Amino acid sequence: MGLERWIGAWPVYRQITGADRLGRGKAAESRRSAGLGPRTDSADRVVDSVCPYCAVGCAQRVYVKDEQVIQIEGNPDSPISRGRLCPKGSASKQLVTGPQREQKVRYRPPYATEWQALDLETAMDMVADRVLDARRKGWQDVDEDGKTLRRTMGIASLGGATLDNEENYLIKKLFTALGALQIENQARI
């Protein structure tokens, strides 16, 4: 390395001779950092999304390359979060791409010790059968004085804090239409 280049590699020299007099930018930059770029630079496209973890609903930008999620950042356009994500939201790429994420429906029958794989259609049919069965078994048409009730005591719903407004709205509508009374959300407990 020539003397001039060697001296020029000193941050203090660059600070004194360059535009970055406070030494907080270019003057303090190493050669390695000068060659680095943001992980989001290589994305093919960016998809707007919402953090799935909690009811705050911070907005996200999902960076996609070759149809794979490569990074998730806060979306500054959001009036709720204005580009911020908490540590959980910042780590939500792991939720999407983690190797331990289950991609198939898993079912453990009563008294079984092992999980088994089910196709989604079978699983949905099983859920529907159980809902209808519980509704029928817990159905009350009238009370002891003959007054109309038309309700079921066989179903209760407890929503989690990751549910957003729209999901809670639909869940409330569904279970009320089924005749359930006990419809709650974790956020109210």
Please give the residue ranges that form the binding site for ligand SF4 (CB under 6 A).
51, 53-54, 56-58, 81, 85-86, 88-89
Output DSSP code: residue 37: -
As measured in angstroms, the least distance from the Cβ of 98 to ligand SF4 is 16
Q: Which is nearer to ligand SF4, 43 or 51 (CB)?
A: 51
Q: Least separation, in Å, of the C-beta of 22 and ligand SF4?
A: 33
Which residue lies nearest ligand SF4, judged by its C-beta? 89
Pairwise CA distance, residues 1 & 22, whole Å: 27
Q: CA-to-CA distance for 119 and 89, rounded, in angstroms? A: 30
How deeply is 6 buried, as exposed, middle or buried, from its count of CB atoms within 10 A (0-12, 13-18, 19+)? exposed
Tokens of 180: 């359930």
CA distances 61 to 56, 73, 142, Å, are 16, 5, 52
From the CB of 14, what's the least distance to ligand SF4, in Å? Answer: 38
Write out the E strands in the chain.
45-50, 59-65, 68-74, 105-107, 116-118, 139-142, 148-159, 180-185
User: What is the nearest approach in angstroms of ligand SF4 to the Cβ of residue 165?
Assistant: 13
Residue 40 or residue 162: which is nearer to ligand SF4 going by CB? 162
The residue length of the chain stands at 189
Smallest distance from the beta carbon of 72 to ligand SF4, in angstroms? Answer: 10
